[in-house]
Chain A
Amino acid sequence: DAKTTQPTSMDCAEGRAANLPCNHSTISGNEYVYWYRQIHSQGPQYIIHGLKNNETNEMASLIITEDRKSSTLILPHATLRDTAVYYCIVRPYVGNYQLIWGAGTKLIIKP
């Protein structure tokens, strides 16, 4: 079973900020939170990751709660091309190479 919980689907108006939540209440101290997205029939694309501090890059911002049990991915100005399935994953930086993918959140950007 996936170690994260995400809403099945979300809508967002074009030009507005899209806020995608993720619950990872059983996260361990050595696990990072990663976000990927998958546009239909393509390979997933890395977006951002973090351990405990908030992170920002050219694609998005990642807000991690102080207890690290949940996080939010923020796409500041959503465009139609941001329509995709967004996956939140926890991954240890030591140990095996396993990654458990859940069903993700289907984000639909509406004009």
Chain B
Amino acid sequence: ETGVTQTPRHLVMGMTNKKSLKCEQHLGHNAMYWYKQSAKKPLELMFVYNFKEQTENNSVPSRFSPECPNSSHLFLHLHTLQPEDSALYLCASSQEREKLFFGSGTQLSVL
């Protein structure tokens, strides 16, 4: 398998649930990203990891917790989310600051 794979594709969760989004890249890239895309809004960068080290954190609420155990895997742990957190969550990877490769995203609905 090649490219960037995200699971699950769709997720519905209650505000008291804990869930995790998973991203895996098979491209040998050293940087991985989490983006949030709310309806009718531009993509918002949430976190960036470079060689497993977090390099960017764009004032994301603590109910979103990223984890990057190695250069190929990235997780986004979710807990006590709010309905306004419903969005498409996109993972991407790149080699340094070169072109981004995106996964298909996880469509999250918080009830």
Which residues in A have some Cβ–Cβ distance to B below 8 Å?
Answer: 2, 34, 36, 41-46, 49, 91-99, 101-104
Given contacts A41-B88, A43-B90, A93-B97, contact A101 B43 (CB under 8 A): yes
How many chain B residues touch A (Cβ–Cβ < 8 Å)? 23
Report which of B4, B56, B90 forms a contact with A97, defined as CB distance below 8 A. B56
**Which one, B14-22, B65-73, B76-84, B98-106, is touching chain A?**
B98-106
| Inter-subunit contact B97/A43 (CB<8 Å) | no
Interface pairs (23), CB distance under 8 Å: A2-B42, A34-B99, A36-B100, A41-B88, A41-B105, A41-B107, A43-B90, A43-B92, A43-B102, A43-B103, A44-B100, A44-B102, A45-B102, A49-B99, A91-B97, A92-B97, A93-B97, A94-B97, A95-B97, A96-B55, A97-B33, A99-B45, A104-B42
Given contacts A41-B88, A44-B100, contact A98 B105 (CB under 8 A): no
| Inter-subunit contact B42/A97 (CB<8 Å) | no
- Enumerate chain A residues within 8 angstroms of B97, measured Cβ to Cβ: 91-95, 97
B48 close to chain A: CB less than 8 A: yes
- Enumerate chain B residues within 8 angstroms of A36, measured Cβ to Cβ: 100
CA gap between A92 and B33 in the complex, in Å: 17
Closest to A35 in B: B99
Closest to B103 in A: A43
| Inter-subunit contact A43/B56 (CB<8 Å) | no
CA gap between A44 and B103 in the complex, in Å: 8
| Inter-subunit contact A102/B48 (CB<8 Å) | no
A102 to B: closest C-beta gap in Å = 6
B74 close to chain A: CB less than 8 A: no
| Inter-subunit contact A103/B42 (CB<8 Å) | yes
- Enumerate chain B residues within 8 angstroms of A95, measured Cβ to Cβ: 97
- Enumerate chain B residues within 8 angstroms of A98, measured Cβ to Cβ: 45, 56
Given contacts A93-B97, A97-B50, A97-B56, contact A44 B43 (CB under 8 A): yes
- Enumerate chain B residues within 8 angstroms of A45, measured Cβ to Cβ: 102
